Every structure is written in structure tokens, then in C-alpha cells.
Amino acid sequence: MIEIPDDMHPDVVPLAFLLGTWEGAGVGDYPTIEAFRYGQQVTFTQDGRPFLAYTSRTWLLDDDGNRVRPLATETGYWKSKLDGSVEVTLAHPTGIVEIWLGETDNGRVEIRTDVVARTVDAKEYTAGHRLYGLVKGELMYAYDMAAMGQPLQAHVSAQLKRVDTEIAAE
Ligand code: HEM
């Protein structure tokens, strides 16, 4: 188990299991695209204020697991309350910003989009659902989206290992 930092704001203690840097690989698909494999690095940090700062970077992987080129990246803030309610704000370079609402309990987070806003050039994306869970020390997640006229369904999922236990903000 990760140690809870002394200066951690009590509101976000329910999310403390996310702190650190995580790396691993996942798979993606959607009815409108070709299936793919990707590598990912995710970082959650805290600085004593009532939120975790979050970044995710991904890369297309070839059949040997080598990075081919960058794929999706996103950044934002994760907040919780002691009752387990969760609010997440995310920004994507593809012109999409989101507010997510949900719950956390015992190493698990489930969130759904409350608000999605898009720039004129953004692809048609209307809703998302994310499930994160700590399973045997690894962070697994599944992301479903409604986009390109398709109903909510799987887009990406991955399994990440903690690679860094340095959890203070830089
Ligand atoms: C691990 C994170 C993700 C990875 C690795 C990933 C990767 C990809 C790839 C490779 C494609 C197909 C080629 C392309 O258009 O670039 C794609 C399409 C797409 N992705 Fe993602 N994606 C991720 C997360 C997201 C998120 C968070 C959103 C929405 C906020 C999103 C929305 C879309 C949309 C709308 C398409 C277009 C489908 C189409 O053109 O038919 N993706 N994604």
C-alpha cells in the first residue's frame, strides 16, 4: 500500500491510491477505426491542496512493443470528498474539455461525463464513462465513449504498474 503523505488534504485521501507515476500498455478500438496497441505513462501528484494533478501520455506501439508515435494526451485535476464523491476536470489537445462526476471506494473509481465542450475542429464526441481499479497493485482502467454517431462503448483499456513512488508535487 502507498503511504498517505503527511501534508495530503483530507478531502483527497480517498484518491491517495492513485498517487505516483504509472506505466504500461493497453488496447484500443472503435467501430470507426482500426484496433491498436498503445503504451502509456500516467502521473498523479498532490501538493497539500484538495486535488490531485493528473497527466497522461500515450504512444502507438508496434508488434514488438516499440513506441511508434505519440497518441492521445490529457491533463486535469481530480477532486474527492470524504464521502467518496469524485469530480474530475480534463482537457485534451483535440479541442475537448470535460467535467466528470462519480464515486471512489476502496481502490476503485467510476466516473461519467457531466459536461463535454468541443472546439469547432474537435471530432464529434458526446459522453464518456471510466472505471479505474487497483488490482494486485496494478492500476487497470477501461474507457467507454460515445463519439462519431456511435453509442457509448469501449475505446481504450490498459493495465499500468507503479514505476515511481515519489508522490510529492514537483
Ligand atoms: C489512452 C487514451 C487514448 C488513445 C491511446 C487513443 C487512440 C486513438 C486512436 C489511435 C484513434 C484512431 C486514429 C486517430 O484518429 O488518431 C482514436 C480515435 C478517436 N479517439 Fe481516441 N484515444 C484515447 C483516448 C481518447 C479520449 C479520451 C477521447 C475523447 C475525449 C478520444 C476520442 C477519440 C475520437 C473521437 C476518435 C475518432 C474516431 C474516428 O475518427 O472515427 N480518444 N483514438
Is residue 85 within 8 A of residue 18, CB to CB? The reply is no
- pLDDT of the residue at 165: 64
> What is the phi/psi pair of residue 14, to 5°?
-60, -20
Closest alpha carbon to 46 in 82, 83, 3 = 3
Q: How far is the CA of 61 from the centre of ligand 1 (A)?
A: 15
pLDDT tens profile 51-67: 999 999 999 999 999 99
Is residue 67 within 8 A of residue 59, CB to CB? The reply is yes
Q: Is 125 in the pocket of ligand 1 (CB under 6 A)?
A: yes
Q: Is 38 in the pocket of ligand 1 (CB under 6 A)?
A: yes
- Is residue 94 a known part of a binding site? no
Q: Is 36 in the pocket of ligand 1 (CB under 6 A)?
A: yes
Neighbours of 102 (CB within 10 A): 20
How far does Cα 69 stand from its chain's mean position? 20
- Is residue 136 a known part of a binding site? no
Q: How far is the CA of 90 from the centre of ligand 1 (A)?
A: 15
pTM exceeds cut of 0.80 = yes
pLDDT tens profile 1-42: 678 999 999 999 999 999 999 999 999 999 999 999 999 999
